[in-house]
A = this chain, B = another copy of it.
Amino acid sequence: MRGSKKWSEMDSVRDEIFNNAIRLFAKKGYFSTTIRDVVEKAGVTQPMVYYYFGNKEELFITCIKELYSDFRHKYDEIEKDISFKEFVEKYTRLGEEIFSSNPEKLLLMIHFLYSPEEYPKFPELSEIITRPLKIIIEAVRRAKSRGELAKGVDEYTVALVLFGSMVMTATIIYNAEYFDLKIPITPDKFNKTIKKMLFDSILRKK
């Protein structure tokens, strides 16, 4: 066995590159992250990036794609036949889970969403970015057809409110120390309030 780490501690070279790339891309963006940054953090040599990923652009795309398929899988597991209340419950809990276990993963997706032109283009981009929004939109639609919602509720706005406020909250928490912010918010607290706000405003009063 090479090196001094135990097997269980030893990430493969590819994984080491992959994970550090995500972290750096999430923090500094695609362009200001250099291959040298990545390999230094990963403790590997430069050509390894090219060996495993082809080039910088493909490294980035691979990161996004793998994260995406991971996310997608989790979001797709939310059942379709649950009530809107339950949906929001699960949706927000899922976001909270992903964020606390690995904020970088979430932040990279967000970063990408907010500055698409900074990044390499690839065909599946649109699908990846709009997926979480579409999931909410569909859930609102189903709720509507089941008569759960108040009249005149626009599914797109609801989606933007839920998604946008989650994303903003994650960002603010993630960058809290950077901004020297003293906003006493936690994912947990946020989730409680957003749920209350949503339910109060859009569910049909019985």
Contact = CB atoms under 8 A, between A and B. Distances in A.
Nearest to A118: B29
A111 interface: yes
Contacts of A43: none
A52 interface: no
A interface majority secondary structure: helix
Among A29, A164, A185, the one with the most B-chain Cβ atoms within 10 Å of its Cβ is A164
A180 interface: yes
Contacts of A115: 27-29, 111, 114-115
A197 B201 contact: yes
* Size class of the contact patch on chain A: 35 or more
Nearest to A181: B130
A162 to B, nearest CB: 8
Contacts of A163: 168
21 contacts: A29-B32, A32-B118, A114-B115, A154-B185, A157-B165, A157-B197, A160-B168, A160-B169, A160-B185, A161-B165, A161-B194, A161-B197, A164-B164, A164-B165, A164-B169, A165-B168, A196-B201, A197-B197, A197-B202, A198-B201, A200-B201
